[in-house]
A and B are shown apart, each in its own frame.
Chain A
Amino acid sequence: QSALTQPASVSGSPRQSITISCTGTSSDVGAYNYVSWYQQHPGKAPKLMIYDVTNRPSGVSNRFSGSKSGNTASLTISGLQAEDEAIYYCSSYTGTSTVLFGGGTKLTVL
């Protein structure tokens, strides 16, 4: 299976909002509400930011929100801060008891 499709890069200024898309198929993103988003800083392990499409784990800022429409999920970060600069990955359950990750989106805070 091919990785979920994410834009290679997005950028925004502090205090602005950005949205990162994650496109799959009707067999993964479109079929299940098991979409997650991870933040990864250089040299660190990924950190869970959103699960089940829209849920935030305890301790994650409410500036992070998730949504889904059809085969595309989205992560929105509002009120951008310098510390948000990282690579963001989406993932989805595929229906065959496996998980697929996206290729990653590098967020630059200008």
Chain B
Amino acid sequence: EAAVTQSPRSKVAVTGGKVTLSCHQTNNHDYMYWYRQDTGHGLRLIHYSYVADSTEKGDIPDGYKASRPSQENFSLILELASLSQTAVYFCASSHREDTQYFGPGTRLLVL
């Protein structure tokens, strides 16, 4: 069974603070993704990566950075957290054009 883990599972952050969300996969997948989910918007892609040390912008990259230091790890960084970034964040991994396997999600509350 494919495995994607995320940490932390929930976090409360202050406006203007730095937040790092981490994702680890043991699937040997080349693609990794970060999504956010908000009520009424479904899942929206923030950043993705298809190889270590390289990241690509998704549909809503503004205010977020991503880092892929290895094939297994993919981080999402909010340098200056804002209220509008309160959401649930999901990480996923896949082979190209293949089924995505999702992590359990991280609930982020920015106050």
User: Is chain B a partner of chain A in the same complex?
Assistant: no
